[in-house]
Amino acid sequence: MLAAPLAPVRSAAAVRTAYWTRLLPALAALACVTRAPSFARPLWNPDEGYLAVQARMLAHGGQLYETVVDRKPPLVPWLYQAAFAFGGSGSLTSVRVLAVLAHLFTAVLLASLARRRWGDTAGRTAGTLYLLVSVGLNPEDAQAAVFEVFILPGTAAAMWCADRRRWGAAGVAVACAVLAKQTGGAVLVPVLWLLHRHGAGRSGLLRLAAGVVLPVLCAALLTDPAGFVFWTVTGSGAYASLTGSELHVLGRGLANTAILAAACAGLLPPLVRALHTTTRTRATDLWLWLASSAVAVSLGFHFFGHYYLQLTPPLVLLATAALRDLPRERLTAAVVTSVCCCTLFLTWGLAAPRPELAHAQRLAAAVAHRTSPDDRVLVWGMHPETYWLADRSPASRYLTAGLLTNYSGGRDGPQVGEKYAVEGAWPVFRAELARHAPALVIDDSRGKPYGPDRLPSLRRLLAARYEEVGTVDGAVLYARVPGE
């Protein structure tokens, strides 16, 4: 009797290809489903509006840190500019597609990290849980294409490369995270720990340092080196102070922590258990990643919801590590719970009203009605999206009152006013308004502590050269007096 032929042995490459052939389409579909609400609204928060206006200004010859300014590095404004060049600047659809791809890339990297360490099931678990949990914030934070979204692929790539001892590539990934937002540099802590654990020595450290420094240096040289350093490092001291707003900031921090905890309801029990088992010692780099990310969330004492996105990759990997040591039904329960929580957050995103967006749309319609496309306007408020929605050019490089008064995030403490502005901002602002006097000034302060009645320079300008011509939802419109 002839023996049955042996089944052909599949190569490691074939097994790997089959694994990703099945997993990638599933993760891509899940990324699209969990980000569906992001396409349901023209705009989610003022950060998107700020970036959209910056991208338009850059496309029309503006220069970062000179005529286009913000306290952030240049990568995300450049991404917006590139997306607008491809898909047009009248919609954020192209930017939202980039955000979906950023989340998908992050999920794939986390899946790869988990699979390398703990096997195929862990890889699928990590990629799936990340996409489910990362929508677990207020939709204006989770669904918006903001800076933190573009930090995440860089941080995940840095850990992926460090896990494989590719120190130069890990440094480049850290640099990409930093160039998306300064707090992306928090991932350097676990990367350095991995470098030490693997005994990479001086050569590995030099390659890592070169990978971090060279891209950042190139970005500085492509913009304005002095402006780059000022706006991203040295010029934000007052912004980080919470004097007079302690309770407000604490309340926001606790609220956003509670929201993310609710989204992670399926992950927290195994994570708590992991704190008391040997899992902790086998995942030191992940605990360091979580701790350094928590410090990054706290820097500046603002605790905006989108800051918390930076916590989700290490949380997911730690939960994945913990779940593999538990019975399979615990893994099923964690995934089912995460699916249910994700469904609730998606429903919130699709159904919740956005009164500030409606206000900005009505205000933009009034601005467009009272001005011509070539007119410059000044929106004195915290909603730069009005410029973008009205398709009008700003009269100043300072797109919000925050840079000129230190008002940010609803803080109403004593450190709001002209003397708390970014250093040197008011002389530049006055010169800009003298050179390009806005056809329309919109006071959108609506009783906030940065109103013109508290700012002598702006109050004198309005009294001397402008007259009130209407109101929109409490915002006051001032037109330039003929002949001025």
Is the pLDDT reported for residue 291 higher than 90?
yes
Is the pLDDT reported for residue 396 higher than 80?
yes
Is the pLDDT reported for residue 226 higher than 60?
yes
Residue 11 pLDDT = 72
Residue 38 pLDDT = 96
Residue 412 pLDDT = 60
Residue 413 pLDDT = 63
Mean pLDDT computed over every residue of the chain: 92
| pLDDT more than 90, % of the chain | 81
The 3-state secondary structure of the chain reads: CCCCCCCCCCCHHHHHHHHHHHHHHHHHHHHHHHCHHHHCCCCCCHHHHHHHHHHHHHHCCCCECCCECCCCCCHHHHHHHHHHHHHCCCCCHHHHHHHHHHHHHHHHHHHHHHHHHHCHHHHHHHHHHHHHHCCCCCHHHHCCCCHHHHHHHHHHHHHHHHHCCCHHHHHHHHHHHHHHCHHHHHHHHHHHHHHHHCCCHHHHHHHHHHHHHHHHHHHHHHCCHHHHHHHHHHCCCHHHCCCCCHHHHHHHHHHHHHHHHHHCCCCHHHHHHHCCCCHHHHCHHHHHHHHHHHHHHHCCCCCCHHHHHHHHHHHHHHHHHHHCCCCHHHHHHHHHHHHHHHHHHHHHHHHCCCHHHHHHHHHHHHHHHHCCCCCEEEEECCCCHHHHHHCCEECCCCCCCHHHHCCCCCCCCCCCCHHHCCCCHHHHHHHHHHHCCCCEEEECCCCCCCCHHHCHHHHHHHHHHEEEEEEECCEEEEEECCCC
Is the pLDDT reported for residue 159 higher than 70?
yes
pLDDT tens string 412-433 = 667 788 988 999 999 999 999 9
The band of 1, judged by pLDDT with boundaries at 50, 70 and 90, is very low
pLDDT tens string 366-384 = 999 999 999 999 999 999 9
Q: Which residue has the higher pLDDT, 353 or 340?
A: 340
Over range 141-152, report the average pLDDT.
96
pLDDT tens string 164-177 = 999 999 999 999 99
Residue 116 pLDDT = 95
Is the pLDDT reported for residue 244 higher than 80?
no
Residue 271 pLDDT = 87
pLDDT tens string 89-124 = 999 999 999 999 999 999 999 999 999 999 999 999
